[in-house]
Structures are given as C-alpha cells and as structure tokens.
Amino acid sequence: MDRRRFLALASGFAAFAPLAARAQGQPVAARVGYIPVVGTAPFFVAQGEGWLKQAGVEPAVTVFESGPNMIQALASGTLDVYVAGVAPLAVARSRGIDVRVVASTAIGENVVVAAPSLSKFFTAGVAPAAAFKAFRTANGKAARLATQPAGSVPNTTLQYWLWEVAKIDKADVEIVPMGIDATQQAILAGAVDGGSVREPALTILQSRNSAIKLVAAGEEVFPGQPGTVVAVSGAFATKNPQAVQAIVDGLVKAAALIKANPDKAAPHIGAALGKGIVDPDLIRKALVSPASVFEIDPRKIIEPARAMQAYQVKLGSLDKELPFDGLFETQYYERAAKAGG
C-alpha cells in the first residue's frame, strides 16, 4: 500500500471512529446550563430516572441566574444545551450564535406577587392600578418590583402585565433587575414590594409569609406565556442528533411522570433545585402549583414567542423583530410524540 492510500484510509477511519465509539456505547457528554426554577423539572426528572444515561447521554450541569447570562456561554462554545427562557434565543441567533429550540418544558411560569408592604392594598374589588396608586400615596414613593434582567422572559412578561394588562401608572412602579435567588430573598426581607417569580419561589415565599399574595397568574401576565425551553447548539445537534433525540424523548416521558406521580418526580427536582435544603414537600407542592404547567411541544409556543418578541421591540430591549427561521426544530418532538403515542 502506498503512502497516499494509507493516509486516505487513516483519515477516513479517524472520521468514522467517533461514530463507531458511540455505536459501541460510549456516552455523549452534554454540557448543560440551566436556571433554578421548576420549569426545568422535566429535564431533571429525565436525568434522575436514568433515562438520559440509558440512552447514552451524560449531562454535566451548571446553574445560571438567567437566560441572558447563559448566552455568553453558548457564544463561547462552553455550553451544548440551554435550559432556560425562550426570549433571549432569537437575539442570540441574530448575533450569529447557532442555537436551536428542540422542546418546550413549561408555560405560564412567571407570576406576580406582592410583598406585605404592597399586598395590603390588594383588597377585594380593588383593581391592581388602584392598589399601586394607593401604595404610592401612602408611602410617598413607587412600589419596587424585582425581576430578572431586561430581555429575559420574567422582565418582559412583568412589564407586559404592568403596562398592557393592568394599566399601571409608570410613576407608581420601579422595576429592580436582580437574579432569581436575590429576588426571592429581597421579597422575603421586604427590600422590595413584590416581583415576578416562578416556582419553587412562589411556594417557598407563601409558605414563609402568608401575607405575600399572588396578584397575577401566568396566563393573565402574558397570554400563552412561553417559558422555559430546551435548546441545543448547532454544533452539538449536528454532531449528536441521537443525543438530542434522547433528551427530547426523556422530556416527554418526564412530563407524563410529573403529571401522573409528582411524589416520585419531586426528589429529582429537589436534588437539582433545592440542593437538599428545600423541604421535599415544598417541591411537591410547587409541581402541582397553578404556576407549573409542563408542556414539551415546542410548536405551541412559537406564536406566543413571536408576540413576546414584538413586545420586546416596543419596550426597547430589542431594536427590531428578528426572524425565527431555523430557531425552532420541531422534528425531535414530533418523533418522540409519535413513538410515545
């Protein structure tokens, strides 16, 4: 065999070797970024039940405070899988980051709560706009509401509810951006007067202080509110399509398990979100909360996501509406649903 032919064969073998290794059971490593909310529950149930490992996927997870904070990691190539809000992803694609939504995990997650300083003005028959105005009249200052950074789903949906649904006077509210954990602590400490939260924060807050009121549920905050999704980098999807399919298959099974047996699902979520310090019963309650609606079908959130993006343009957090071409890849869910059906 001459040298040229030998090198050609060697090159071909090298290209084939990774596929052969995976076929022989070598696991695919997946670097996963997530935000610590119950909307991510289907992913952690799929991991906890061992379905991902059985399918040859080994996730290594890293927690982030918000979706926008995760975009930099996607851009740098240090993340393969994104489990967070949908809103930042079209922006990421517009900046040349090849990221693709392959599944939803939850909808209607973001709700608005009032801390005791504000909740006392939310009495029967009083409209939210009147409650905020009464707060400012009584305190001589605007109510401070905590939420995640501009461009995130919580920030966008909170502003939609304030200005478009409840028609709050902008002089009556100050929006304070902060991380998820900081929002929860600020509401409990009375450092803010309310905010936009997701589970398990809603259940934790109300369990620790019954005077904290839910003043707007997810569907009221933003109709059809899209929330947490699973997205993958283009490079990961191209190299590991079977791993992407395995993740989506696991999500479908996990959503069914959460609905049928939340007691079995709760420990997996508690291990990921509570780190052993959140009462397991609180996690179980959060799973059946009105703010926990698990939906894996990404097709159901495409139009609400467009509407959310249009509102981001109105807010000024986006310069213009961005094309969704290539952002949603629904074939993985369609295959999973067909196999499960």
Domains and CATH numbers, the chain: 3-107+226-340 (3.40.190.10), 111-221 (3.40.190.10)
List C-alpha distances in Å: 175 to 26, 70, 214, 268.
Answer: 49, 22, 18, 34
Query: Can you tell me the distance from the alpha carbon of 117 to that of 186, in angstroms, rounded to the nearest whole number?
Result: 12
> In whole angstroms, what is the distance from residue 129 CA to residue 165 CA?
10
So what's the pLDDT on residue 18?
41
Neighbours of 152 (CB within 10 A): 27
Q: Which alpha helices (H) appear in 77-159, and where do they start and end? A: 87-94, 116-119, 128-139, 153-159
The answer to whether residue 309 scores a pLDDT higher than 50 is yes
Q: Give the model's pLDDT for residue 87.
A: 84
**pTM score of the predicted model:** 0.84
Give the angle 20-26-271 at the CA atoms, nearest 5°: 150
Give the model's pLDDT for residue 275: 67
What does the pLDDT read at residue 25? 63
Nearest to 197 by CA among 167, 240, 227, 239: 227
User: Is-cis flag, bond preceding 200, omega within 30?
Assistant: yes
For residue 250, the model assigns a pLDDT of: 98
- Examine the pLDDT at 149 and tell me if it is beyond 80: yes
> Of 327, 270, 341, 276, which is closest to residue 88 (Cα–Cα)?
327
Q: What is the pLDDT of residues 3-60, one digit of tens each?
A: 444 434 444 434 333 443 344 468 999 999 999 899 999 999 999 999 999 999 999 9
Look at residue 19 in the predicted model and tell me its pLDDT. Answer: 40
